Amino acid sequence: MQAKGKFITFEGGEGAGKTTMLQRLAGYFEDQHLPYILTREPGGIDISEQIRSIILNPAHTSMDGRTEALLYAAARRQHLVEKVEPALEEGSIVICDRFVDSSLVYQGFARGLGMEEVWSINQFAIDQRMPELTLYLDIEPEAGLARIAAHRGHEVDRLDMEGLDFHRKVREGYLLLASRYPERIKVVNADQSIEEVEADLIKQIEMWILEDFRREMSNH
């Protein structure tokens, strides 16, 4: 599927700092005068935000793993057709907080449903759309959860309530995906100062933009 814009996704475990980094990178894209939108999964649009509230509700601890995976895929599909694809067609850079890799890791690997099984659900949902670049913010689960406890206090969602072993599996799953798809997924150490993480992310984005530009030039 070809589009005029570019699709960048951010991934990471709980407390990796994705939201902070996305806000800071918005300033970078503005300084570069690049058209962009920031969005998130699950959510980004009304229908998907409502699905998000069901998935992350702390009261829903009885939710089956497959139900969870299907809800994420449903939210992803609606978000894709209603927000992501139109923005790509207009030539914008779409920067999304989480995408299909989250489902592969959280439901497929950490919950034990199987990455291939979760991928098959999502193939139907995304209709071949994949990001050109994925930036994975890597942090030890203990450090990420400590950040959440320090900064969010009482505001805890269902994923934050999972045990440490679950979050360790999440990290293991992400590193596994990064080793499988090194051309697309770039690992950034999130256990640094905000300024250092931001600098590393910008470096990866600029390297990717240059590589992409060279590919386009070689095709002409």
Is residue 1 included in any domain, yes or no? no
pLDDT band at 148 (very low <50, low <70, confident <90, very high): confident
Residue 163 is labelled as binding a ligand: no
pTM: 0.90
Asked if residue 124 belongs to a domain, the reply is yes
Binding site annotation covers 206?
Answer: no
Closest to 166 measured CA to CA, from 109, 113, 116: 109
- 37 part of a folded domain: yes
Q: Are strands 6-12 and 93-97 parallel, antiparallel or unpaired?
A: parallel
Number of other residues whose CB lies within 10 A of the CB of residue 118: 25
The arithmetic mean of pLDDT across residues 197-217, rounded, is: 83
The reply, when asked if residue 14 is annotated as ligand binding, is yes
Is 73 annotated in a binding site? The answer is no
Is the pLDDT at 154 greater than 60? The verdict is no
* Residue 31 resides in a domain: yes
For residue 177, pLDDT beyond 60? yes
Query: What is the structure's pLDDT at 162?
Result: 83
Strands (E), the chain: 6-12, 36-40, 93-97, 133-138, 185-189
Residue 19 annotated as binding? yes
Total domain count for the chain? Answer: 1
Would you say 17 is a known binding-site residue? Answer: yes
CATH number at residue 15: 3.40.50.300
Residue 67 is assigned to a ligand binding site: no
Task: Specify the pLDDT at position 169.
Answer: 98
Residues 94-143: tens digit of each pLDDT: 999 999 999 999 999 999 999 999 999 999 999 999 999 999 999 999 99
Give the residue-averaged pLDDT of 177-191: 97
Domain span at residue 69 reads 6-218
Distance in angstroms (rounded) separating the CA atoms of residues 85 and 167:
31
